[in-house]
Each structure stands twice: as C-alpha cells, then as structure tokens.
Amino acid sequence: MTDTYRHKGLRKKLVDTIKEKGIKDTRILEAVGKIPRHHFMDSSFIEFAYRDQAFPIGSGQTISQPYTVAFQTELLQIEKHNKILEVGTGSGYQCAILLELGTKVFTIERYRELYLKSRALLSDMGYKPYFFYGDGYAGLPNHGPFDRILITAGAPEIPEELLKQLKIGGRMVIPVGGSGGQVMMLIERIGENEYKESKHGYFAFVPMLKGKQ
Ligand code: SAH
C-alpha cells in the first residue's frame, strides 16, 4: 500500500483537528502525523481514513477515532521503554501509536480474524509488538506486571485481574460503562493495595466481551 503526498497532507489536517480538540503531547501528535491510518482501514472506508471518526473494521468492531486514541494515550503519560498491555488490538492502529513512543507493547485481541489481520499488517509495516489471541479480561499474568494498561473497549466494570497486573506507580486507562456510553477512567496504582481513580469525560466504545471468537 502506498502513502502519497495527498495522504500526508490529509494527516497534517487531522493532526491540526485533534490539536484543536485539546491534545497537547507533541510526541503523540507526531505519531498521528507519521502513521498511515489508511493502511489500517477496511477497504470500503479507506477514503475516510483521515476523518476524525471511528469506522468498521470487520467482525462488528471499529478502528477508534483518532482523537480518542490520542486522548487515551495522553492520559497514560507514557515514558520511553514502558511495558504496556493493550486490550483490544482491533485494527492495530493504537498499537502502532504506542510503539512510535518507544514502548514495548503486549496486545490482546479476542477475534481471531482481527488478531491475524493486524498481526500481518503491523509486521509488514515493521512494527514488533507481542501479539496474543485471547480474552483480555485475564490479562497476561505470565508477562506482567505492566507500567501501563490500556483498554480500548467499553468495560462493564474494572477487571480485578488487570488491576493486579499493574505495577505500583503504573497507570491504567479504561472506558467503563455499558452500551449507552462509557466514562474514561484513569487508575493509578499507588501502593500494594492502594489505587487512585479519576474520571475524564464520556466516550462511546464497542463493548469489552468475555471469551474469544
Ligand atoms: N485499539 C483498537 C480499537 C479496536 S475496538 C484500534 O486501534 O483499532 C476494540 C477491540 O477490542 C475490538 O477489536 C474487540 O474485538 C476487542 N475486544 C473486546 N473485548 C475484548 C477482550 N475481552 N479481550 C480482547 N479484546 C477484546
């Protein structure tokens, strides 16, 4: 797939849009400006790749809106070399953004079809996360604990197992709520049994579901 001057121009506008909406972290803005989002889109929606919107990617799932991707990433306050768990690989776009920030990413997807597709695409693009096909509710106990945990689907509640896999001093970002919308929550682990929660506005994600398909 090619990345033309037209694509680059559209990306520049997209960066301006999310900047206007409040994204400040220049590393994130640079990553959005660099990554060809059209590579991650379903072919029927490719011409809309640089709209600040979510689009279908198959299996009833969506590629998140760029603003939402940037917002979640900003809340995580990522530091270089952070070890990150991402629940919901989906198209792989969010994963590519995390990798551009110099992190080590462990990403889980419950749909086999999406897992295979994003694994092939990210590898072709030269990205090297660790891919897992499975249920993100369980996290990855054998690979944790993690500096950062990012959930990219709407969770009915905060999964207990994931809290355990967060390092002390670590941050987890998770949209919590049902099909009517979710509140973006930031959870900071400040001690062995101490967590601090804060709320950061309303969003609409596809649901986080149990099991795998
Ligand atoms: N980060 C993705 C967002 C995809 S939408 C991107 O940038 O495109 C959310 C994804 O979470 C979907 O692909 C969905 O299948 C996946 N998902 C939902 N529940 C899950 C679970 N329990 N474990 C792993 N993935 C899950």
- 52-74 per-position pLDDT tens digit: 999 999 999 999 999 999 999 99
- Confidence check: pLDDT of 213 > 80: yes
Does the C-beta of 63 come closer than 6 Å to ligand 1? yes
- Confidence check: pLDDT of 161 > 80: yes
Q: What is the mean pLDDT of residues 129-156?
A: 98
**CA of residue 99 to ligand 1 center, whole Å:** 17
- Whole-number Å distance between alpha carbons of 18 and 45: 20
Specify whether domain 54-64+75-203 bears CATH 3.40.50.150: yes
**CA of residue 87 to ligand 1 center, whole Å:** 6
Residue minimizing CA distance to atom 14 of ligand 1: 88
| Residues paired with residue 62 on neighbouring β-strands, in sequence order | 56
Structure tokens at 6: 């037209």
Q: Which residues make Cβ contacts (< 8 Å) with residue 57, sequence separation at least 6?
A: 40, 41, 42, 63, 90, 91, 114
Q: What is the pLDDT of residue 107?
A: 98
Domain residue limits, the chain: 54-64+75-203
pTM of the model: 0.98
- Whole-number Å distance between alpha carbons of 60 and 110: 12
Q: Which residues are catalytic?
A: 64
Q: What is the pLDDT of residue 196?
A: 98
Does the C-beta of 64 come closer than 6 Å to ligand 1? yes
